[in-house]
């Protein structure tokens, strides 16, 4: 057994220091360090769920050194959450002993989603919903309003981690939802609940419990203005998966995205619609990100591929002469630096100058597009706004734009074209290498294959 150590942790990036300092050496944030108490270095450390077979059944083997060739390669044990879109984002269901952090703005629907999931899962395995934000009466009221089955669902209104773990040890749930990490606190620290050290240490205890018992844990976390969960980005390193729940205010659609996932891909999207009866899955979300105004100047529809599904998404641009000596470039749902780069390529290789213009680009529906296939649609939308001319009716585009003005292919071109054709689009401006071999037809879709940015602009 060792003595409890203290350390200083940066609330912005999670870097750890043995001494206090005014500025974080990792992320350069000022005054972001706070003291945390580290556990004494004794007792069993965390083990991977895979090393602890039988976790869902509650039986746990002690860890031991093993020749890798003797390890059985059984896939992780997964259970369905009963919500297909959530399973998809998790990589095919919830893995035993996995700790999943679900982050998002207050009011986005985190509690609703997890209450729906835990109520469905409770039919298969003992589950415990721990709330630190609402009373049990509020939770029960919501569950009834959502027509959720209540028979097997255990709930606990508690914020003290020691008490939560005590109850868990007795009730032996195989799944715990803790809503939210910001309300949790542990007796071992004197810091206030919600402080970096409390959130970190409380979450660490739940993680340790999950790994020791094979219990799956969902942690709910509110996102701060800076975008990190609860300030302490530390949580992101401690958990197996981080899911963000996003949506535009005013829109009923919600997108769940894996930001980190030890058990699956990180680019899968889950799509939901918030309604009277809570969150409904949108298993076929292709067309919901179209604003219906794609005949306006400054709009271009692209086919993006997030995870395993193609999605039709509208990109909007507004180009306006700038009063500033340093005109603005604002990208919402896209990477800011990429926009600046694309505008430079547009000038150098497309002969279109926007140096004295403000450029705003927005992806409709509050989703974030991370792939380079958005390059060409972004530039077509910018050009359309600059010229104040809509693109030809029923046109889609996708393609990466290189620094020398070449249009590069993107993965799964055929699937994207098929999706566009299915939704009645007539023209597709796409990289040459993504164009179908002669003879292949996609309904009434005319495919315009382009090699250079200048060609693409001409066709638009």
Answer yes or no whether residue 213 interacts with Mg ion by CB under 5 A.
no
Interaction between residue 310 and ligand TYD (CB under 6 A): no
SS3 for 265-285 is CCCCEEEEEEECCEEEECCCC
111 has binding-site annotation: yes
Does residue 116 bind ligand TYD (CB under 6 A)?
A: no
Query: Considering beta carbons, is residue 244 or 360 the nearer one to Mg ion?
Result: 244
Give min distance, CB of 293 to ligand TYD, in A. 25
Closest separation in Å from C-beta 129 to ligand TYD: 12
Instruction: Indicate whether 183 belongs to the interface with Mg ion (CB under 5 A).
Output: no
- Would you say 105 is a known binding-site residue? yes
Choices 108-116, 119-127, 162-170, 306-314; region in contact with Mg ion by CB under 5 A: 108-116
Does 107 count as an annotated binding residue?
A: yes
Cβ closest to ligand TYD, residue 111 vs residue 357: 111
341, exposed or middle or buried, with CB in 10 Å at 0-12, 13-18, 19+?
middle
Give the chain's count of helices (H) and strands (E).
10, 23
**Is 320 known as a binding-site position?**
no
Closest chain position to Mg ion (CB) = 111
Least distance between ligand TYD and beta carbon 378 (Å): 31
Nearest-approach distance from CB 419 to Mg ion, in angstroms: 35
- Residue 434, helix vs strand vs coil: helix
Site for ligand TYD contains 365 (CB under 6 A): no
211 binds, among ligand TYD, Mg ion, none (CB under 5 to 8 A by kind): none
Stretch that binds ligand TYD, among 57-65, 276-284, 305-313, 364-372 (CB under 6 A): 276-284
Contact between 175 and 215 under an 8 Å Cβ cutoff? The reply is: yes
Residue (of 235, 231, 215) closest to 223 by Cα position:
231
Nearer to Mg ion, 111 or 213 (CB): 111
Nearest to 98 by CA among 49, 166, 165: 49
Considering only residues 365-384, where is the footprint of Mg ion by CB under 5 A? none
| Closest of 320, 283, 312, 318 to residue 297, by C-alpha | 318
CA geometry: angle 45, 132, 247, nearest 5 deg: 95
Q: Residues 79 to 108: which contact ligand TYD by CB under 6 A? A: 104, 106-108
Evaluated on CA atoms 384, 295, 400, 369, the torsion sign reads: positive
- Binding residues for Mg ion, rule CB under 5 A, total 1
Q: Is 270 marked as binding a ligand?
A: no
Helices (H), 290-402: 336-350, 375-387
Distance of CA 241 to the CA centre of its chain: 10
Position 63 contacts ligand TYD (CB under 6 A): no
**Least distance between Mg ion and beta carbon 138 (Å):** 10
Among 111, 159, 186, 286, binds Mg ion (CB under 5 A): 111
Query: With respect to Mg ion, which residue has the nearer C-beta, 132 or 390?
Result: 132
Residue of 78, 110, 120, 233 interacting with ligand TYD (CB under 6 A): 110
Largest CA distance in the chain: 74
Query: Is residue 415 a contact partner of residue 367, using CB atoms and an 8 Å limit?
Result: no
Taking CB under 6 A as the rule, does residue 141 contact ligand TYD? no
Buried b (16+ CB within 10 A) or exposed e, 114-134: bbbbbbbbbeebbbbbbbbbb
Tokens of 355: 């140096």
Rank residues 145 and 328 by Cβ distance to ligand TYD and give the closer one: 145
Neighbouring-strand partners of residue 271: 255
CA atoms within 13 A on the CB side of 97: 24
Residue closer to ligand TYD by CB (options 131, 215) is: 131
Give least dist CB 110 to Mg ion, A. 5
Secondary structure E strands in 168-308: 175-179, 216-222, 241-246, 253-261, 269-275, 278-281, 299-306
Shortest Cβ 256–ligand TYD spacing (Å): 12
112 binds ligand TYD (CB under 6 A): yes
CA gap 160, 178 in Å, rounded: 11
Closer CB to ligand TYD, residue 367 or residue 460? 367
Q: Which residues bind ligand TYD (CB under 6 A)?
A: 104, 106-112, 142, 146, 274, 276-278
The binding site for ATP comprises 104-111
Q: Which residues bind Mg ion (CB under 5 A)?
A: 111
């Amino acid at each position: 057994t060792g003595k409890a150590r203290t350390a200083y942790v940066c609330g912005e990036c999670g870097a750890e220091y043995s001494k206090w300092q005014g500025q974080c050496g990792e992320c350069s944030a000022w005054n972001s360090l706070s003291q945390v108490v580290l556990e004494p270095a004794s007792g069993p450390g965390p083990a991977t769920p895979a090393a602890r077979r039988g976790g869902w059944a509650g039986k746990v083997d002690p860890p031991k050194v093993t020749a890798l060739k003797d390890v059985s390669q059984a896939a992780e044990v997964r259970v369905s959450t009963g919500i297909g879109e959530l399973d998809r984002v998790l990589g095919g269901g919830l893995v035993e002993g996995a700790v999943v952090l679900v982050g998002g703005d207050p009011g986005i629907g985190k509690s609703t989603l997890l209450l729906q999931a835990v109520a469905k899962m409770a039919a298969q395995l003992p589950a415990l919903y721990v709330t630190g934000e609402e009373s049990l009466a509020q939770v029960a009221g919501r569950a009834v309003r959502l027509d959720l089955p209540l028979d097997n669902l255990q709930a606990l209104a508690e914020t003290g981690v020691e008490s939560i773990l005590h109850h868990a040890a007795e009730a032996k749930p195989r799944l715990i939802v803790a809503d939210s990490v910001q309300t949790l606190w542990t007796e071992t620290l004197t810091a206030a609940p919600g402080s970096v050290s409390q959130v970190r240490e409380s979450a660490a205890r739940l993680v340790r419990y999950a790994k020791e018992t094979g219990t799956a844990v969902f942690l709910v976390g509110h996102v701060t203005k800076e975008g990190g969960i609860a300030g302490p980005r530390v949580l992101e390193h401690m958990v197996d998966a981080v899911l963000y729940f996003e949506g535009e205010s005013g829109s009923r659609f919600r997108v769940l995205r894996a930001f980190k996932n030890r058990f699956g891909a990180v680019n899968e999207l889950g799509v939901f619609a918030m309604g009277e009866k809570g969150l409904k899955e949108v298993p076929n979300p292709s067309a919901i990100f179209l604003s219906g105004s794609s005949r306006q100047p400054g709009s271009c529809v692209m086919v993006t591929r997030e995870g395993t599904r193609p999605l039709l998404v509208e990109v909007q641009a507004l180009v306006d002469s700038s009063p500033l000596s340093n005109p603005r470039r604002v990208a919402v749902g896209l990477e800011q630096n990429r926009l600046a780069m694309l505008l430079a390529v547009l000038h150098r290789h497309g002969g279109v100058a926007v140096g004295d213009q403000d450029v705003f680009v927005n992806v409709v529906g509050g989703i974030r597009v991370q792939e380079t296939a958005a390059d060409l649609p972004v530039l077509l939308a910018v050009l359309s706004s600059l010229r104040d001319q809509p693109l030809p009716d029923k046109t889609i585009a996708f393609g990466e734009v290189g620094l020398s003005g070449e249009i590069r292919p993107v993965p799964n071109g055929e699937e994207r074209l098929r999706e566009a054709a299915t939704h009645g689009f007539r023209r597709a401006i796409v990289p040459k290498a993504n164009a179908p071999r002669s003879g292949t037809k996609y309904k009434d879709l005319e495919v315009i294959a382009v090699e250079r940015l200048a060609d693409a602009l001409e066709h638009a």
